[in-house]
Amino acid sequence: MMFGSQECHGKLLDLSLSTPPKVMGILNVTPDSFSDGGLFLSTDKALQQAQQMIQDGAAIIDVGGESTRPGAAAVTVQEELDRVIPIIESIQQECIIIISIDTSKPEVMREAVKAGAGMINDVRALREPGALEAANETGVPVCLMHMSGEPRTMQEKPEYTDVVHTVKSFLQERISCCEAAGIPGDVLLIDPGFGFGKTVDHNLQLVKNLYEFTELGKPILMGVSRKSSIAALLDRPANERLAGSIAMATLCCQYGANIIRAHDVAATVDAVKIYHAVTHAGT
């Protein structure tokens, strides 16, 4: 699928086939995220991590102030704003990089974009009250993700008759809702939601059949980094899942992903560069 550049708050995201898939670096400013909770709570440490990920080749920094791991506690709007806005402002002032805000709250979307965020990454696909309107007002690209249930309960016996069909139909429906609300179709991205209300087999089916999602005509973002499905396959703790994460990310690229969301940016950037070089050899 051919895509051009997307304008993200004054910065361009080039998703053309002539360049490797882009890497989105994960910056969780939360005390309880499954892999890096508590590591980047201060503005200084978060900025240092953002700068390191930029040096390592990240095209986007995804800032999140509320953990979406199974069982994580909800946070208030003000708590989330207090966590993410100073970080976004600091990155915006010190770095030239596209900043994504990982949130489902319309108030956080608005304030994050005012502070410098150029993309919205919503695990609830703009289903919260007021989210469609907020996203439309900001005018920035939006990634719509599929999630079955809520983060705190999503892994309690998820069931699908056909996970690929169900997820694809959901994303098509959300695309239609966004367009009906006035959000241009060319600013939308999609994420099948690897690990969000799915078993290991469901996640593997989504990756194996990822190319089917290209039929929706939107750039595909995949977040597989250090996920529990990799742990289930390899029996590794979160800090020992790099090889599995890289293997899964490379397969995602092969099957159609345009953006890979990752904790380990340098290794992931290397992997997608090799993937791109091999697939374009001789052309």
Residues with a catalytic annotation lie at 227, 261
DSSP collapsed to 3 states, 23-42: EEEEEECCCCCCCCCCCCCC
CA 100-201-276 angle, 5° bins: 50
Which residue in 161, 162, 127, 133 sits closest to 146, CA to CA?
Answer: 127
What does DSSP assign to residue 7?
E
| Sign of the dihedral through C-alpha 72, 78, 80, 83 | negative
156: left (phi over 0), alpha (psi -120 to 50) or beta: beta
Calculate the alpha carbon distances from 51 to 56, 90, 99, 151, 160 in Å.
9, 11, 12, 29, 41
